Amino acid sequence: MRSRPSHAEGAERGGRARAPMLLPLAWGSLFFPGLFGVCTWGLRRARPAWTHHDCVMISTRLVSSVQAVLATGSGIIVIRSCSDVITDRHWLAREYVWFLIPYMIYDTYAMYLCEWYRAGDQSSRHSLTIFRNFLSKNRLMITHHVFILLVLVPIAQKLRGELGDFFVGCIFTAELSTPFVSLGRILIQLNQQHTLLYKVNGILTLTTFFLCRILLFPFMYWSYGRQQGLSALPHSFPLQCGQCLPHRATDLLVLSAVQKGSPAL
């Protein structure tokens, strides 16, 4: 009779299960705040005339763009690796979500820091007022981050089980337009709205937004329907002695004629 695992064995298994989660969490906790600090330091040295608010705001946009590039790249890799949109797996579909959690927390703090320096530049720094302005101006982004942390992360990491890595990759690619949105806001902050770069970036922003936000869900639905249609088709035609031929129209016609006793084609 099979014995139950001891308490020590159960704890060891739980520790091994948590270990892969802790590594991307740790890397994300170091990478995004570290990149933000390096960008802010570099901008302060390269542009001494800029205010603290300018440097912090632009650094926040740069870090957001880097995260968007990483997410989009991860999504493309996952999508290309999953021939079966339901059951195929890729490790990035799970590990990048753990890497993303520290970014969401960091980005919320970075938005508050931007508001703090903006109020400081205007000589109106008061903690309660700053916090109220932060909630008022960033209501949508805060809701977005909280929804991802409290709803999408549990779904992606636990509730969906071992299925749907392809669709997680599709969600990652929704970040494709973020670098162009960030560049547009940086150009506005630097009063470059009338430049050719700003106009070209606007076209790219609209194009990528249409591709990764408007067409994303129809593409996911089409991929799922296509997979269901392929699953409904027989993948092989049975022969004697356990042999199989590929599912091709010419093979089926010949085999059907042979089995029915028709003359050879």
Query: How many angstroms separate the CA atoms of 87 and 230, rounded?
Result: 14
Q: How far apart are CA 93 and CA 81, in angstroms?
A: 11
pLDDT tens-digit series, residues 14-38:
444 566 788 999 999 999 999 999 9
Question: Could you give the CA distance from residue 64 to residue 138 in angstroms, rounded to a whole number?
Answer: 15
Query: Considering the entire predicted model, what is its pTM?
Result: 0.78
Find the range with the poorest average confidence among 86-90, 133-137, 169-173, 254-258: 254-258
As beta bridge partners, residue 244 has: 238
Instruction: Tell me the pLDDT tens digit for each residue of 33-42.
Output: 999 999 999 9
